[in-house]
Structure 1
């Protein structure tokens, strides 16, 4: 509506309706009784048309006011299926909203004034219906009435508000919504999504990941999910099937080894020292623990160098075995290298071994293998000289007293044992020679070259320490791969390199739980290799608590050029957005009334009075932290493209049609929900009920999977563990475990 007055006022009675009704009455009079206003029928027809045009104009102005007032209490529903989410090769769709400007701050300021609260409060009938629901819910005879009062339908005049909370006025200050797009070129600058629990971070991730999977450039999509959200896993797999990329879809889940792909977190490296760094970074680094961490790093590096020299690929299982039995590694390495360097050396070692007894056994070698002691004595002989850095490193390790050695690696052994216990050992230390195991083995460079889609469920609810160690190792591996790509490209070593830079979309949910020293170079320098990080967390304090330094937390946050702020509960986190916004001038109205008496007895004027409105401006922040705290679920502020502020809301998910939902994944998802509940999903209470899956379409999909078996096809893995999953997690009473978690 065009503004012609010094101050805009939208929360007021729709006085334009009165003019519209009067014009309609005049038009009717000109049509049916033109003689009553001294008009001929032909002129009356023209006058009626003019009145109707003016009535339509005033009616439209009234409708803007009425719609604005209605949206202040309840926003119109915004929902869509995943197939309806727009996909562009140049932009990322975030939702519907508007660019926030000074006039929106003015309207929000007006909505907070006491005189306008009558337009924001619920109507009397709505409040009465809610009180009746509370009072009558205990009576069985009145449950039908309670159910009718709670029906979410436009036909229900007292239908309840959607359970999203917050202040709908924050979004209602603009009635002209449009699609909000972020240029894909901005994503290389990385995106930080802040929001407290159950306000829509997972839904935001689903919207972004869906577009990344369907983009025609076939971007690489990697999602780190510490909790193991079954709905997010199902959404990624369904979209991969729809995009025809199911054969490039991998699932790595520590909580479900039977359906998980396998990954050696220390099997690929650019430098040998990276393996020791990835393991040592998972150890405590505070106080006296820092010294033991350096010892652990040194011993892991020693055994890794020896294994690499022997031609073996490092793994957690092998490193644990070598740390526990470093004597055996020394003997194995010496047997292979010593005879080649010094022919006849083992015969001399056998002589030294035969002369050893309790009386001449070195005290610092107590507990060591007899052959190790003989080998050390032989190498210390004056006439023996060999230059082998790996052998010297092993010798320096075994020269420690064994009891002392066990103490200084005491912090390392529990971690390695957790990473190699049970069926997790099959995932993290895969047997490359076992051809009967059809679970795929992947590494990041292979995934990037195949334009793969990877879901990483770290099961942090069951064992946070293991999840943290694997997450850190994966990030470190990605940093190493990014460095390789930056230097040599994606297709280095292939016979016909044709690929340019590949977009690697890395979605990290609860990334503060997985963040270590590796994450800072990943966001700082990974953009040159095509890595585009979208990190999801709750508060800034989570990052500071994980890193242990406010300066380093600021260093991490400073690498995120785009900020998506949902509802948060911490002012410090909200100020991360509000402190970056400028101040704007807001108009305020002051009622002025004055009266003065006249003391002159000769004057006919006893007193004078005056009244009026005074308009002034005051500088206020464009947004306050309280506005962020009061956001409804599913709504957010977005700061992108060098400071452009947008207010958006995400669509509620409508149920997908059954033709793309394989039954095996659905069964696994149900089992995962029972074991790994990620909490209430805020949109389930406002979304329509899910549709039933067509049995014929399900049968056709399963037939396709059987006819096209491939080792990397995760659908086949899901299908094989459905029955075992049911036996392990099926409750006695299915009603105890609702499907929505």
Structure 2
């Protein structure tokens, strides 16, 4: 009963309203589905976005008051039908278990568990947690941060097998493809992580930039001398002695060990020899040969040319009965050289240090260096000695020897497998030594950037080459060397991404809660996956503000009429009251209920994001085949988590 013109207009309006209602229905359906189920998020390495300005973390949304409100609402009893699996799903899972071992029904059980999108009762992804934590966000977008934020360092927290290493793969892939210097410390040895690094170097044309150092596979490992490069010779003793216990009376013995190590290092450097652990172990047990070599060079420069004849005469006339008890039975030529220099009142600081060490009683000397000798013996035992005390003059050894200065100048990609599952003490020592060496190199960069740290040797821009350091299971590598790297490394371009499980791991390793707080306070960006320690979750949530959330309350009541003459026997009322209360933007319980592969990120001075980290989809990745497959398979077969601090 309308004219055509009006009918068309009304029809258009109704069609538009129908479209809007249908769009709202689709959004609501997706939202409710997301509260119950989260699909696995996989991304091929080639699809990971790489930018010169931004760092990609995954897909997610900015978390705010709205999401805190929605998450609270999903935990109301009335919302359980939107959260818990339905009747058909529960029936399918029950029948799947019942039919699994029956001959004719097992095929039907497989169909019930099929991952096809046409299967309405397919199993939920094996990621655990509460899917509604991410489901309350609705639409997702790529979550990125400015690369400039990385200069403030990044901390990634999460319990075992929740996605920390996969997150590391995503970040490392971008660093390699961006062409940055990339260093990966992997104490336990993750096969997939190592394969990914090798594959990304091939895919980005940086295969020649790859350096693999692995204590468990010396035949294919590069070599590294942790005490062979330094700005001051005292660094040799510091890096070595810092591996010893410094608590209580142990500090005295550590200082003795530092002194003797420093004397040996100074003598080696003066003789033109590069210090290494093998030489330290050799000379700290017997200083005679080093003393003779140094005195020969010193006397050749300072004494008269006829000094060898005088020393030989002194040696031939020496009688043990004429010597102090501590010198009896020791090398006669060394004794003669010392007496020759004493008689002529010759002085040299290094010579005096060698002499004082030589004159110690052997039994007493062994006691005061007893804490350090086991450490050195571990470092020079077996084939590990070939890797950390390289023979530079061995022309038959083709394994490369690398240093941090070389890595930085040539923009290398370094994978460091410390094989902590075999020997945690050696892994920690080598890792700490590498950190100390890296700090020293960073100091050189800070002072002499034109040689080591600036793009194209150009200092006009003042921007240093980023050095991206990824330290998995960082609690096993932390020491006194790690703190200055966090505090001052940013000025030299160091950008540290540290991965660990709990705050307690850091406290146990550093041995002091104040030191642990000092270390953790140096991270500008924090990424937290599911954790099982309340203190670790609170470390994150206490940085967030409180917000106002609404609560709806239904109030009903009735009252009898007291007026007997009234026609009203009773009155009733029904009210809906909305009250606002203060609640945390994010609670520790929410973090402890995160599904695998999901995390919160706090970055850029307080911006909170909820993300899903993409799992690696490598089925069509041609570059994943490598010459290191044997090593990777061996690593994978012996893989365990790093939760072994209690063994120490």
Calculate the TM-score normalised by the size of structure 2.
Answer: 0.95
1:726 match: none
1:514 match: 477
1:628 match: 591
> Aligned equivalents of 1:412 and 1:663: distance in 2?
40
1:645 match: 608
Distance 1:330-1:497 versus aligned 2 partners, 3 A rule: same
- Of 620-629 and 588-597, more deviation after overlay is shown by 588-597
1:319 match: 280
Distance 1:259-1:504 versus aligned 2 partners, 3 A rule: same
Q: Is residue 397 from structure 1 mapped to residue 360 from structure 2 by the alignment?
A: no
Q: Is residue 147 from structure 1 mapped to residue 107 from structure 2 by the alignment?
A: no
Q: Is residue 422 from structure 1 mapped to residue 382 from structure 2 by the alignment?
A: yes
User: CA contact under 8 A between 2:453 and 2:464: conserved in structure 1?
Assistant: no
Distance 1:675-1:569 versus aligned 2 partners, 3 A rule: closer
Q: Is residue 349 from structure 1 mapped to residue 349 from structure 2 by the alignment?
A: no
> Aligned equivalents of 1:608 and 1:660: distance in 2?
78
2:413 match: 453
> Aligned equivalents of 1:197 and 1:664: distance in 2?
29
Per-residue Cα deviation, 1:266-308 (whole angstroms, up to 9, x for no partner)? 1100001101011111112222222111111111000000011
Deviation of residue 367 (structure 1)? 4.7
1:369 match: 331
> Aligned equivalents of 1:157 and 1:231: distance in 2?
33
Distance 1:118-1:307 versus aligned 2 partners, 3 A rule: same
- Of 593-602 and 556-565, more deviation after overlay is shown by 593-602
SS across alignment from 1:359: helix
2:228 match: 267
SS across alignment from 1:159: coil
Q: Is residue 290 from structure 1 mapped to residue 251 from structure 2 by the alignment?
A: yes
SS across alignment from 2:118: coil
Deviation of residue 362 (structure 1)? 1.9
> Aligned equivalents of 2:246 and 2:509: distance in 1?
12
- Of 659-668 and 256-265, more deviation after overlay is shown by 659-668
> Aligned equivalents of 1:304 and 1:364: distance in 2?
24
2:140 match: 177
Deviation of residue 639 (structure 1)? 0.4
User: CA contact under 8 A between 2:113 and 2:123: conserved in structure 1?
Assistant: yes
2:212 match: 251
Deviation of residue 140 (structure 1)? 4.2
SS across alignment from 2:111: helix
Alignment of structure 1 residues 167-316 onto 2, 5 Å: 167-215=130-178, 218-316=179-277
1:157 match: 120
> Aligned equivalents of 2:527 and 2:584: distance in 1?
19
Distance 1:101-1:498 versus aligned 2 partners, 3 A rule: same
User: CA contact under 8 A between 1:104 and 1:173: conserved in structure 2?
Assistant: yes
1:535 match: 498
Deviation of residue 127 (structure 1)? 1.0
Deviation of residue 604 (structure 1)? 2.2
- Of 324-333 and 96-105, more deviation after overlay is shown by 324-333
> Aligned equivalents of 2:550 and 2:349: distance in 1?
76
Deviation of residue 392 (structure 1)? 0.5
Per-residue Cα deviation, 1:89-115 (whole angstroms, up to 9, x for no partner)? 000001010101101100000001111
User: CA contact under 8 A between 1:366 and 1:402: conserved in structure 2?
Assistant: no
| Residue among 126, 129, 149 paired with 1:166 | 129
Deviation of residue 141 (structure 1)? 4.0
- Of 532-541 and 418-427, more deviation after overlay is shown by 418-427
User: CA contact under 8 A between 1:566 and 1:636: conserved in structure 2?
Assistant: yes
> Aligned equivalents of 2:245 and 2:466: distance in 1?
34
Q: Is residue 431 from structure 1 mapped to residue 431 from structure 2 by the alignment?
A: no
Distance 1:677-1:606 versus aligned 2 partners, 3 A rule: closer
Deviation of residue 671 (structure 1)? 2.9
> Aligned equivalents of 2:372 and 2:472: distance in 1?
28
User: CA contact under 8 A between 2:320 and 2:328: conserved in structure 1?
Assistant: no
User: CA contact under 8 A between 1:255 and 1:458: conserved in structure 2?
Assistant: yes
Per-residue Cα deviation, 1:142-193 (whole angstroms, up to 9, x for no partner)? 3322222222121212111111100011111111111101100100000000
SS across alignment from 2:628: helix
> Aligned equivalents of 1:538 and 1:668: distance in 2?
26
Distance 1:547-1:367 versus aligned 2 partners, 3 A rule: farther
Q: Which runs of 5+ in 2 are unaligned?
A: 643-648
> Aligned equivalents of 1:97 and 1:286: distance in 2?
46
> Aligned equivalents of 2:467 and 2:103: distance in 1?
57
> Aligned equivalents of 1:176 and 1:99: distance in 2?
11
Higher relative contact order (CA 8 A, sep 6+): 2
Q: Is residue 100 from structure 1 mapped to residue 60 from structure 2 by the alignment?
A: no
Deviation of residue 325 (structure 1)? 1.5
SS across alignment from 1:54: helix
Alignment of structure 1 residues 433-582 onto 2, 5 Å: 433-491=393-451, 497-498=457-458, 501-582=464-545
> Aligned equivalents of 1:656 and 1:481: distance in 2?
40
User: CA contact under 8 A between 2:198 and 2:626: conserved in structure 1?
Assistant: no
> Aligned equivalents of 2:154 and 2:366: distance in 1?
44
Deviation of residue 501 (structure 1)? 1.5
SS across alignment from 2:224: coil
The alignment of Structure 1 onto Structure 2 pairs a total of residues equal to 637
Q: Is residue 330 from structure 1 mapped to residue 291 from structure 2 by the alignment?
A: yes
Q: Is residue 111 from structure 1 mapped to residue 74 from structure 2 by the alignment?
A: yes
Deviation of residue 377 (structure 1)? 3.6
User: CA contact under 8 A between 1:229 and 1:676: conserved in structure 2?
Assistant: yes
1:21 match: none
SS across alignment from 1:491: helix
User: CA contact under 8 A between 1:299 and 1:397: conserved in structure 2?
Assistant: yes
Deviation of residue 492 (structure 1)? 5.6
Distance 1:231-1:367 versus aligned 2 partners, 3 A rule: farther
User: CA contact under 8 A between 1:322 and 1:329: conserved in structure 2?
Assistant: yes
Tell me how large the CA RMSD over aligned residues is.
1.9
Deviation of residue 314 (structure 1)? 0.6
Deviation of residue 380 (structure 1)? 3.7
Deviation of residue 442 (structure 1)? 0.8
- Of 193-202 and 365-374, more deviation after overlay is shown by 365-374
SS across alignment from 2:451: coil
> Aligned equivalents of 1:490 and 1:187: distance in 2?
22
